[in-house]
């Protein structure tokens, strides 16, 4: 079932992005989305869409009704003129995601902006 969940999740992630965006699996059950030119409000809208859609669609894959599948999402944005490196952006998103997991999962959070 784990492989089916990952495949279905990848399909769902690709369905909410534009052709200029990127969805990538980082490993295990972690994915990253690059929303080209998106601000934190656009990213939050996509995250909220996924927060609602993923449990509904992935729940159909589980034979165990008590097993609730969902997503924990960390969002990090940077301005177009930012010199922040990708690894720093990913670290901020990862920290936001782990903050969500610590508070009970199934939500999203926008990371604080990187120091200038």
- What does the pLDDT read at residue 49? 92
In the chain, the percentage of residues whose pLDDT exceeds 70 is: 92
Could you give the dihedral angle defined by the CA atoms of residues 52, 57, 97 and 85, in that order, rounded to the nearest 10 degrees?
-100
Domain of residue 73 covers: 2-110
CATH code at 88? 3.30.70.270
Residues marked active site are found at: 29
26-67 tens-digit pLDDT: 888 888 999 988 888 999 999 999 999 888 887 777 666 666
What is this structure's pTM? 0.84
Give domain status of residue 104, yes or no.
yes
Number of domains composing the chain: 1
Here the contacts of 3-11 (C-beta below 8 Å, separation 24 or greater) are: 4/61, 5/58, 5/61, 5/69, 8/57, 8/58, 8/61, 9/54, 9/58, 9/71
């Amino acid at each position: 079932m784990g492989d089916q969940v990952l495949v279905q999740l990848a399909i769902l992630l690709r369905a909410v992005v534009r052709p200029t965006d990127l969805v990538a699996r980082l490993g295990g059950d972690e994915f990253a989305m690059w929303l080209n030119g998106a601000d934190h409000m656009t990213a939050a809208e996509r995250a909220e869409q996924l927060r609602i859609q993923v449990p509904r669609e992935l729940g159909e894959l589980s034979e165990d009704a008590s097993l609730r599948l969902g997503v924990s999402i960390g969002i990090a944005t940077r301005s177009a003129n930012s010199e922040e490196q990708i690894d720093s952006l990913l670290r901020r998103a990862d920290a936001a995601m782990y903050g969500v997991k610590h508070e009970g999962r199934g939500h999203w959070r926008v990371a604080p902006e990187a120091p200038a």
